[in-house]
Chains A and B, each alone.
Chain A
Amino acid sequence: MLIIPCPHCGPRPELEFRYGGQAHIARPVDPSPLSDEEWASFLYSRDNERGIHAERWRHIHGCARFFNVVRDTTTDQILASYKTGEFRPEAV
């Protein structure tokens, strides 16, 4: 069970969180002009990193906020945690 640093509440046990998939995939502001391929890519294409991965978590049994985490999927080391809407720290 991981310890996940919530940007609002601090480090908390994984049981309080729900995974939210890859981070930084913004919904197109206007989806209508997108080609079918572009839209399908937005819907379905996700990285499957072996290594450093930016992903979303929700502190669902806590402050209920979505936020972002940069995690090494091979070691579970968490390199950064930041609020939704913030940029991924350059160092990681």
Chain B
Amino acid sequence: MLSDIVETTAIDADGVRLETLPAFGRLNFRGRAGAVAAMSEAFGLALPEASCRAAIAGSRAALWLGPDEWLLLMLPTETDAVIAAAASALAGLPHSLVDISERQYALGLSGRLAATVLAGGNPLDFDLSTFPVGMCTRTIMGKAELAIWRTEPDRFHIEVWRSFAPYIRGFLREHMREFGA
């Protein structure tokens, strides 16, 4: 359970809220052009080709993390079916598909001060013109790596490796304290 290593209760402050998002199925997909097309087919969602962009369809999302790397998010119950569908759709096409559902978990940071709180430990420019809705990227927060995906102007989906979660949560909470957390 997540609570084995990290508290999961939401943290509220004036203008910003940090919460633990529900469990996701996660696959790390790697491959070249032909395999990408086949994977898009199998996943039911075109994997974005533009760098640092995410695509969503229904319960699924594909996040571009590198020129041959995507993080696929889905319901936990869908993971095995997607793996199976990919196995047949991608037969003979060099690629890598690895289940990382449990490697990381998701935090949600929302509110008008969400970007300000992120700026406490992250050097990216969260202005909507430079970090628009739909942008996603691996980056750094304090001394830990994480991936940040802007799903709405004031809402961020954060992916963090499991053992770094308490640190990231604590780091964000520290930067929420002046807003009443």
Contacts and interface: CB of A to CB of B under 8 A. Distances in A.
- A–B contact via C-beta, under 8 angstroms: yes
Interface of A: 1, 8-10, 12-13, 15-16, 61-65
Contacts, number: 37
Which 5 A-B pairs rank lowest in CB-CB distance, beginning with the nearest?
A: A63-B66, A13-B123, A61-B140, A61-B145, A64-B66
Given A63-B65, A65-B66, A65-B67, 18 more contacts: A1-B123, A8-B51, A8-B66, A9-B51, A9-B137, A10-B51, A12-B124, A13-B123, A13-B124, A15-B140, A16-B139, A16-B140, A61-B138, A61-B139, A61-B140, A62-B66, A63-B51, A64-B138
Interface of B: 51-52, 65-67, 69, 123-124, 137-140, 145
B100 to A, nearest CB: 14
A26 B123 CA distance: 33
Interface SS, B side: strand
17 contacts: A1-B123, A8-B66, A8-B67, A9-B137, A13-B123, A13-B124, A15-B140, A16-B123, A16-B138, A16-B140, A61-B138, A62-B66, A62-B138, A63-B138, A64-B65, A64-B138, A65-B66
A62 B139 contact: yes
A10 B65 CA distance: 13
A1 B52 CA distance: 22
Contacts of B139: 16, 61-62
A24 B100 CA distance: 34
Contacts of A16: 123, 138-140
A27 to B, nearest CB: 22
Contacts of B124: 12-13
A65 B52 CA distance: 13
B123 A9 contact: no
Contacts of B51: 8-10, 63
B65 to A, nearest CB: 7
Given A9-B52, A15-B140, A16-B140, A63 B123 contact: no
Contacts of B137: 9, 62
